[in-house]
Structure 1
Amino acid sequence: MSPIPWDLPAWVPQRSSVACALLVLTSCVTSTTLGFDGSMMNGLNILPSYTDYFTLTTATMSLNTASVWMGSIIAACVYAKVPDWIGRKWGLFFGAVFTIVGVVIQTAAQNIAMFVVARILIGIGTGASSIAGPVYLAETLPVRYRAWGLGIFFDFWYVGGLIAAGVTYGTAKMDSTWAWRLPSILQGLFSLMCLSLLPFTPESPRWLHSQGRTQEALVALAQVCSNGNVDDPAVVIQFREISDTLTFEKTYEKPAFMKQFANSASTRKRIFLAWTVAVFSMLSGNNIISYYLGPMLTQAGVTDSTTQLEINVILNAWCLVVALIGTVLMDKLGRKTLAAASTAFLTVFLFLIGGLTKAYGNSTNQSGIYGTVAAIFLFQGAYSFGWTPLTVLYPPEVLNYSIRSVGMGIYTFWANGVGLMVTFAFPYALSAISWKTYMINGAWDVLELVIILVTWVETKGRTLEEIDENLDGQLHSDVPTLQTIMGVAPQEREGIIGALDLGAAKEIEATGTVVEVSKG
């Protein structure tokens, strides 16, 4: 399919910092909507006005809650290549539109079937955004902002969750179906925000370059890196890296993804690393708390619905703060260290939740009940510290351009497939085996930790093209790395820009000295 012949209008602010902030806000619609959805369903599953209206059983409660994952799985299957065909911005645009349509139908739902169809449409929208959004941010944000930008991308899960928790706490007092319809309609506000901000952000320079629109790509790169200055050394070096790497991929990589996967160990490694994030971020135990906090608290001994809603609000605020701390430390600690630390601590706390639930779940021991609630907070804090910012940061970093969109489709398929399994199965597990559910999940988390320590590669501080060295064993461009140029005095950078022949570039890398070579 050829690219569409028109673009979304772009009135990009002159200052790069403003443009980058708008980029992050535009793409964060995905996680904010998902966070709102998870916390909203948590609240609705506690509200009698919702459960009584649909006459919910364990099966229908699971279906209503998990159907959003079904839609995301559909999106993963049919939307993976769409951002390659029409652009990253249009990919995000249509994801937001699908979400809004689903929200309207969900708000007007008259029966379970209508509610489920609406949530599937919301899932398609958020699934499409989950593919386009991280790719768009990773390819457009400069290196210095990529970690916090993509980290905040999913930190906003808790912004949406906190808003939804507060809204459902407030609407719980309504004596009508608006107790659950009002939270439903508010879920669409984030998609409307996305649509309103898209005209003020540039298209991905890497996508533009891949379409042969090199001058537009250079301008887009300058808009986010150097306040629009196309002659800035960092812009020139990165543009050359992008150009060389895309040329290499078109020349040496197989055109079909399956051929790449079959013939390239590097491609298989990249897909595997993205797969680990998809599965581990969903199957670490967090989804039990995200969607079924009410039943968890009931088993722990906290049975009052108002108290449960209050805990839901406080828990989302706590997780947001911890996730932001993890995001700030992302470039200092590194992706692998943060993932390992987060997984190790959440494993300990999940076992602790299981033990405390067994000991005090059916008792009136207030100290034991408070201890269980504290363990839930510690578990969610440990998860939020690492996995929340890593969820959509690491996959697009390890996927190279030729497979990035398809790879994120595979990532979205697995993330939502596991999410569907968890949200549908855990109510039955909690009902049937109670505290043992946490123990089984904790044992799986131990395996997660081993895989991270053995297989993950570090990606901090490098451009997307420079990360190839970590996975392919070599760079695919002859220019010096971005860190090289940023490590010398400003007046010397002109020499680096001139030193774009292979020999001079290698000398710069080896010695850190600037070699004067004519641009001609």
Structure 2
Amino acid sequence: MEAGDKQVKSSEARSAGVELAAVLPNDGIPWYKHKHLVKVNFCVISLMLFSGSNGFDGSLMNSLLALPWWRDFMDNPTGAWLGFINAAYALGCAVGYPIAAWISNRWGRKLPVWISVLLSFIGVAMQTSAQNQATFIIARFFQGLSQGFTLSVSLLIAENVYPTHRGVCSAIYNCGWHFGSVIAAWATFGTRNMTDWSWRLPSLLQILLPVLGVPGLIMIPESPRWLVSKDRSDEARQNLANLHTGGDINSPLIEFEMTEIELTIKAEMEAEKNPWTDQWTTPGNRHRLLITLSLGTFAQWTGNGVVSYYLSIILNSVGITSVTHQTLISACMGLWNLFWSLLAALNVDRLGRRMLFMSSAIVMLISYTIITGLSGSFESTRDSATGLAVIPFLFIYFFGYDIALTPLVVSYPIEIWPYNLRAKGLALTQVVSLSFTFFNTFVNPIALDAIQWRYYFVFLATIIVMIFVVWFYYPETRGLTLENVALLFDGDEAHVGVATAENAIKSSNIKHKHIEESQN
């Protein structure tokens, strides 16, 4: 893409953002004093717990590895066997994501989440009561399948929230992963001396967060964009009004949003040929596809997979072998990750996506280089001080990871893909990410056993690639509606409904006048 084309597309997109700003209510009242905005943001927080459930389930194995009673139950798994146990969860997720994308486009964004809750009950019951290794592994697959069906939660959030809150709310969603991982880590730390229930009780607690997410799922309406795609525009208008303007269906903001949504979705559907192959048939979609594939790769191939799943192995390799110390470090790391990912998510519109991505890659590169050097030095010298020095750099590394790859791995794909490809684009990001997770969980323990710290060089190379890919191919999307992000990728070819503030205000005034005349 030429520099001049980038500037033109960016200018067009920013102009669209100005049009939105012109129709926003200007009453000077903060959002937390508007009941309708409090309701929608409560729904966001409640729905974020489904991401927390993913974090709990996905990170639980890291904590269980430190428990002698679980290791005895699973016959002290190592190498390929340990990798297979961990990979069952990732495989379930990978199976669930494409199915959830199809269901969410056909029957709505909410149905897959209800299926997820049901599957979670099945998985938790099996894992908690498991009497043999096969049952435990099947339960992990069901838990992964359940999390795959939560794909549409992030779509519900992005397509329902107040337009100026979308960037922050979408970014906050995936931070829930660390919230869940914190609960898993501290729960396991608290039960570490409870013999067999040291791992069964944390397994049972996996159901807690999905249950707490149900109120938000009940309260939030179906996506207005999905309703429009099914020719239910009146219902979509009412839902938008209830969420964004307290029920005023004739607000200029609602006129603007509905015009943009209706025209854009109509244009997308008229241009659509094949829902899957459309992802690479245009230059703009090939650009999106590059981002999707690379982001899914960076999310799991920049070193976090080693630390997230095999922290206890890493700590053992640098001389920290106490169960108490290992579970405590894991729990503290969860709190650290939650803090930095939330802070970045809350400032995503202030700092911008590109700045967060670039800062993330640079911090990870520096810290992981030092971790690699210290790990190699410890292997040669067995000096305890050198081993302990790895710990602070693990925390610094995760600071770098948390500020971009936690909040943006879900929200950024949602922003860049148009409505008709949004669920599939997000599913593809997650499938790519989980493919690497599956590979990581199966291969990492083998590689760590065989070449130990030298394996880290693979991830250093990926981080270097990330810096170049982000710099040249990741555009800034802050300040834009979901529809107008298309201008950054497609320019004049974008299927974007032309909504202007002036027309929205005029239309609103005309409708108000008709209402007043009918009342007289």
Check whether TM > 0.5.
yes
Could you tell me how far apart the structure 2 residues matched to 1:126 and 1:178 are? 24
| Partner SS, residue 446 of structure 2 | helix
Q: Which stretch shows the higher mean deviation, 53-62 or 422-431?
A: 53-62
Letter in 1 for 2:99: V
Could you tell me how far apart the structure 2 residues matched to 1:519 and 1:365 are? 81
Letter in 1 for 2:126: I
Letter in 2 for 1:61: L
Could you tell me how far apart the structure 2 residues matched to 1:464 and 1:432 are? 47
- Structure 1 gaps, min length 5: 1-12, 486-492, 501-514
Partners of 2:318 and 2:384 within 8 A in 1: no
Letter in 2 for 1:304: S
| 2:169 aligned residue | 149
Count of residue pairs brought into register by the alignment: 479
Q: 1:261 aligns with which of 279, 283, 298?
A: 279
| 2:144 aligned residue | 123
Could you tell me how far apart the structure 2 residues matched to 1:280 and 1:297 are? 24
| Partner SS, residue 372 of structure 2 | helix
| 1:101 aligned residue | 122
Offset at residue 466 of structure 1 (A): 0.9
| Partner SS, residue 131 of structure 2 | coil
* 1:110–1:468 Cα change, 3 Å: same
TM-score when scaled to structure 2? Answer: 0.88
5 Å-filtered alignment, 1:39-438, equals: 39-58=59-78, 59-129=80-150, 131-175=151-195, 177-254=196-273, 256-261=274-279, 263-361=281-379, 363=381, 365-438=383-456
TM-score when scaled to structure 1? Answer: 0.88
5 Å-filtered alignment, 1:402-481, equals: 402-474=420-492, 476-480=496-500
Offset at residue 361 of structure 1 (A): 4.3
| Partner SS, residue 476 of structure 2 | coil
Could you tell me how far apart the structure 2 residues matched to 1:52 and 1:262 are? 49
| 1:24 aligned residue | 44
Cα offsets for 1:334-382 (capped at 9, x unmatched): 1122111101111111111110111124645343223210110100111
* 1:307–1:440 Cα change, 3 Å: same
User: Does 1:34 pair with 2:42?
Assistant: no
Cα offsets for 1:186-236 (capped at 9, x unmatched): 011111122233221111110011111111101111222222222222221
Q: Which stretch shows the higher mean deviation, 263-272 or 277-286?
A: 263-272
| 1:511 aligned residue | none
Could you tell me how far apart the structure 2 residues matched to 1:361 and 1:238 are? 60
Q: Which stretch shows the higher mean deviation, 31-40 or 119-128?
A: 31-40
| Partner SS, residue 249 of structure 1 | helix
- Structure 2 gaps, min length 5: 1-32, 515-520
Partners of 1:301 and 1:361 within 8 A in 2: no
Cα offsets for 1:26-47 (capped at 9, x unmatched): 4323321221123321111010
Could you tell me how far apart the structure 2 residues matched to 1:318 and 1:163 are? 13
Offset at residue 498 of structure 1 (A): 1.4
Letter in 1 for 2:112: G
| Partner SS, residue 80 of structure 1 | helix
Offset at residue 322 of structure 1 (A): 0.9
Percent sequence identity over matched residues?
Answer: 29
Partners of 1:103 and 1:188 within 8 A in 2: yes
Letter in 2 for 1:411: T
Runs of 4+ in 1 over 6 A off after TM superposition: 515-520
Give the number of the structure whose residues are more often helix, by fraction: 2
* 1:37–1:435 Cα change, 3 Å: same
